[in-house]
Amino acid sequence: MTTLKSKLQHDLTEAIKARDELRSSTLRLTLTAIQKEEVAGTEARVLSDGEVEKIIAREAKKRREAAEAFDQGGRSESAARERAEGELLADYLPKQLTDEELESLVAAAVAEAKGSGAEGPKAMGAVMKIVNPKVAGRAEGGRVAGMVKKLLAG
């Protein structure tokens, strides 16, 4: 079992003992998503910490999107709960890059792509291919893409 998954299970046990409903339900749902991924496909397998991180990131993103949808629908209490769940899951993810850190990584990738002949907006794919492994899990894809577009345009 991966260390991240065992940490989630330990934290779930602690949350249940403390009668922390929000934390225990969020961790239960996340562990269920992890277990579902482990048994998907033809053979059951144990996920690496990196794969578990991706699942946690996906679950956190679902919470953010649900909170936005609830806000648009005028259901602020449901939106607040979704945000709280998303923040709880964010504690298990690597620290997110600041805008300045992300901009410097993307600028370096743009320079590298231009060095290999890629120019203008058409270079987006080449730049994303360079920058994605460097930011893996530390910045959301939409945020990275927005920064690449901004730097390629400017």
Q: What is the pLDDT of residues 3-57, one digit of tens each?
A: 888 899 999 999 999 999 999 999 999 999 999 998 888 888 888 888 888 888 8
pTM of the model: 0.73
In 20-64, which ranges are E strands? Answer: none
Segment 81-111, tens digit of pLDDT: 999 998 898 888 877 777 777 777 777 777 7
Extents of the domains making up the chain: 3-90, 99-153
Q: Cβ(149)–Cβ(127) under 8 Å? A: no
User: 92-116 as b/e, with b when 16 or more CB fall inside 10 Å?
Assistant: beeeebeeeebeebbeebbeebeee
CATH domain 3-90 topology: Hypothetical Protein Yqey; Chain: A; domain1 (1.10.1510)
Give Cβ neighbours of residue 100 (< 8 Å, ≥ 6 apart): none
CA atoms lying within 13 Å on the CB side of residue 23 = 15
Instruction: Name the CATH topology of 99-153.
Output: Arc Repressor Mutant, subunit A (1.10.10)
